[in-house]
Amino acid sequence: MEPNFWHDKWDAKQIGFHLGQVNELLIQHWPQLKLTSKSNVFVPLCGKSLDMCYLAEQGHSVLGCELSQTAVEQFYTENDLPFSVEPLDSVNQFSTEQVSILQGDLFTLQPDRFSHIDAFYDRAALIAWPQEMRIAYVEKIASLIPPKSIGLLITLDYPQEALKGPPFAVSNDWVQTHLSEYFEVELLSSDDVLAGNQRFVSKGVPWLTESSYKLIRKG
């Protein structure tokens, strides 16, 4: 999937993946990670997610990464947050008191920018990639996240042939097989959420499972 795909989605306001409230699974499971309030949290492919506000309210410093400048600007303006912009190598860093966002291509980022990170949160990033690109994303995240960092991952799984993604189907078997090289993986929850997702219902998707995982970077 080329960058223009996501730019076009934001420009056309086709952002069904954006939630207008904080994700319930984040609220439910984040305390289980037992992080200190001053932890530094990385949020890849963050869009304009209100989840970043929730994380900041827990006392965390949040570092997001988002390709779309439109999404980044909307995050700050819609939440009435004053921000500054600083060019940094291949990206632009947007910053306010507790939330900074690197606007640019995730794959251009270097590990030295993440040495302070303690935790990470992936609600819409892993499932944004088709299977042929997903492993490259996992490898990139693993290269950026310092050892012992603790994360919360949320995925969706459904019969991929029933609906063209994104979001793409990511099974528990896929997570266990492809993430266990880099992370300790613990399944926290797995629930049938078809009834609450009208897009999937209207397309005749027979089942939809949402799962949450605790991840710890090995090393």
124 near 49, Cβ under 8 Å?
A: yes
DSSP 65: E
Angle between helices 172-179 and 131-144 (to 10 degrees): 50
Dist CA 173 CA 198 (whole Å): 26
Question: What global pTM score does this model have?
Answer: 0.92
pLDDT tens, residue by residue, 183-210: 999 999 999 999 999 999 999 999 999 9
Domains of the chain: 3-7+22-30+37-217 (3.40.50.150)
> Where does residue 199 rank: exposed (0-12), middle (13-18), buried (19+ CB within 10 A)?
exposed
Question: What residues does 86 pair with on adjacent strands?
Answer: 93
Does residue 45 have a pLDDT over 80? yes
pLDDT tens, residue by residue, 203-217: 999 999 999 999 999
Output the CA torsion sign for 63, 27, 153, 18. negative
Instruction: Calculate the alpha carbon distances from 159 to 133, 176, 188, 217 in Å.
Output: 18, 18, 22, 29
